[in-house]
Amino acid sequence: MAQAGFDYHGTADVAANDAGLSLALSIFADRPHVRDTMRDDALAAGFRLHEARDVAALLDDQARPLGEVVLLDCPVVDAATMAALARLDMRAAHAGAHLIVSTSAGALDDVFACLDQSRPQLLVDPTRAERVIALGRVLARVPNLRLREMTQDDRLTLLRLTEQVGQIAQRLDRLADKSALPDSAFRFGSPQPAYHGPDDEQPGEERLMRAPRPALPDPRLVRRIIRQRQVRARFFDSELFADPAWDILLDLTAARAEHTRVSVTSLCIASGVPPTTALRWIGQMTDAGLLQRVEDETDRRRAFIALSDKAADAMARYFAELGKEAAQLI
């Protein structure tokens, strides 16, 4: 029997949502209770529900248009699910849809490998609140939305959520804003002034040569710094010293010096914050040019995260600046 408000395909009764937001939302989830929760939260936020179906439906009907926002739940990934994810990624990127994908820690690497075009929000074992926050981030990016009639309490809650999400997004987005780089914690460039070569002494000529790029630090030193930072969590609340961007940079610096690859799951663990938060930082740092996605040449189903060349150069220069004092500063 079809659910009230849905036809046998799971398509929402549009007439019941005519007064909703201009954003249509599609839901794909195999777990009925998760699908129902997603639907309830989306309607409470004022989205217009386009459809709610299982994940296999992504492969069944490629001609069916997606909603402007897509919520997908896939805690377990098999070959069929990966094919569905890859197609959804292409469709969402082509249509400009906002994609929010929830998965499990065990499936994160597979899901990450499938989604390389649509710039999705990835959530790991999310709570209901985290899904709502993800929807709020979409609302914060889309101005002038028409809200359906809600109670005053619902409206105030949504406005507070959107405001908070917007503030967080602005702080993170500074990493990707070139105009904000001077005030950012991350700046790229060679030390100034550059050193002069022998030819600089020739009359009437002044030739500047780029300073040689220093080598990456000894990975044993970086690993020691990481371990010392982790020890603090044994005595203090880990959130007190949470610095995911720096922990991510340290872990990837050590890995680059060791010539090893780092999966997104491993990097989330190294960040010292919940996986969903770590994924948000990884996304922002990638946008800022600090990190880059690296595909596995031998297995298209795998992808890794690495420092960009500019970030590696900056980390090398940072440790060179510290010199022999680095080991004493941990």
Q: How many CB atoms lie within 10 A of CB 156?
A: 11
Backbone angles phi, psi at 52, to 5 degrees: -140, 110
Please choose, from the candidates 115, 92, 93, the residue with its C-alpha nearest in 3D space to the C-alpha of residue 102: 115
Give yes or no for a contact between 49 and 3, defined as CB atoms under 8 angstroms apart.
no
Sign of CA dihedral 176, 177, 178, 183: negative
CA distance readout (Å), 253 to 101, 149, 236, 271, 306: 29, 51, 26, 13, 9
Please choose, from the candidates 177, 172, 175, 147, the residue with its C-alpha nearest in 3D space to the C-alpha of residue 159: 147
CATH number for 14-176 (one of 3.40.50.880, 3.40.50.2300, 3.30.2130.10, 3.40.50.300): it is 3.40.50.2300
The ranges assigned to domains in the chain are: 14-176, 219-328
According to DSSP, the residues that pair with 6 across neighbouring strands are 12
Classify domain 219-328 by CATH number. Answer: 1.10.10.10
Residue type, 113: A
Domains 14-176 and 219-328 share a fold: no
The rounded mean pLDDT for the chain is 78
- Mean pLDDT over 259-277 rounds to 95
Of all residues in the chain, the percent with pLDDT exceeding 70 is 69
| Of 36-40, 70-74, 136-140, 143-147, minimum mean pLDDT range | 143-147
pLDDT digits (tens, 9 = 90+) for 223-247: 999 998 888 888 888 778 889 999 9
Please choose, from the candidates 223, 212, 197, 215, the residue with its C-alpha nearest in 3D space to the C-alpha of residue 323: 215
Backbone angles phi, psi at 95, to 5 degrees: -90, -10
Backbone angles phi, psi at 99, to 5 degrees: -110, 125
Q: Torsion over CA of 48, 52, 56 and 61, rounded to 10 degrees?
A: -50
The pTM score is: 0.72
Per-residue pLDDT for 159 more than 80?
A: no
Of all residues in the chain, the percent with pLDDT exceeding 90 is 48
Bridge-based pairing state of the strands 24-29 and 69-73:
parallel
- Mean pLDDT over 185-199 rounds to 43
Residue of higher predicted confidence among 181 and 148? 148
Residue type, 10: G
Give yes or no for a contact between 122 and 71, defined as CB atoms under 8 angstroms apart.
no
Tokens describing residue 59: 């492969």
- Mean pLDDT over 28-51 rounds to 91
